[in-house]
Amino acid sequence: MTQRAMKFNKAYSSLINKLPPSLVCEAWSRIISRKRNPMTEEEASSINPLVESFLRHEVNRYQKKLKYQRKSWPLLKNSLYDTDMPDQETQTQDTAPIYTCEHEEEIDCRVKKELDSLSRQLLEFNEKTFDPFIQEITKRLEEQDSVNNKLHSENDQQKLKLHKAEKLLASLSINK
């Protein structure tokens, strides 16, 4: 973050503290690069009712998102996972807070690790859930393949018998 963005943080610290650092960086870039009436860094750094209104809006959006996630998380946890997941308080205690946009690589690394972990959990869940179905389908296909092979074999034998019968008839009709 630039020095100007840090002034932005200080001027609205009560609002900024309610947002994660990534949203603070995003809000800063959005406020100074709006299509309509873009603000200069100086305007955004000073106390401005538009900036305050924008930050309040962002805080409200973020809190609504958290509220929705809290409502939907128990449903997801109960329906998809059989594993113990740490609660939000434990997660926040285990991680050091990140206050600047300069730590984006570290954030990306953490997100990738979490995604890898969730991917592994999903794969394990899918294996537990779908392996019996896959095995049953495979068994049925193998049985059907076996039946088909037997029918092909019988068909070939019938063709041989027919061919022999045709030769015998041909030889009998020639001998008459």
* DSSP secondary structure string for all residues of the chain: --HHHHHHHHHTHHHHTTS-HHHHHHHHHHHHS-SSSPPPHHHHHS--HHHHHHHHHHHHHHHHHHHHHHHHHHHHHHHH--S----HHHHHHHS----SGGGHHHHHHHHHHHHHHHHHHHHHHHHHHHHHHHHHHHHHHHHHHHHHHHHHHHHHHHHHHHHHHHHHHHHHHHH-
Tens digits of per-residue pLDDT, 78-112?
555 555 555 555 555 555 554 556 667 788 888 89
Q: Output the pLDDT for position 176.
A: 67
Tens digits of per-residue pLDDT, 138-164?
899 999 999 999 999 999 999 999 999
Domain range enclosing 165: 103-176
Please indicate, yes or no, if residue 87 is contained in any of the structural domains: no
- As for how many domains the chain has, the answer is 2
Mean pLDDT of the chain: 79
Please indicate, yes or no, if residue 111 is contained in any of the structural domains: yes
Same domain, 116 and 176: yes
Does residue 68 have a pLDDT over 90? no
Best mean pLDDT range from 25-34, 35-44, 96-105, 112-121: 112-121
Same domain, 70 and 110: no
Does residue 129 have a pLDDT over 60? yes
**Residue range 51-71: average pLDDT?**
86
Same domain, 110 and 71: no
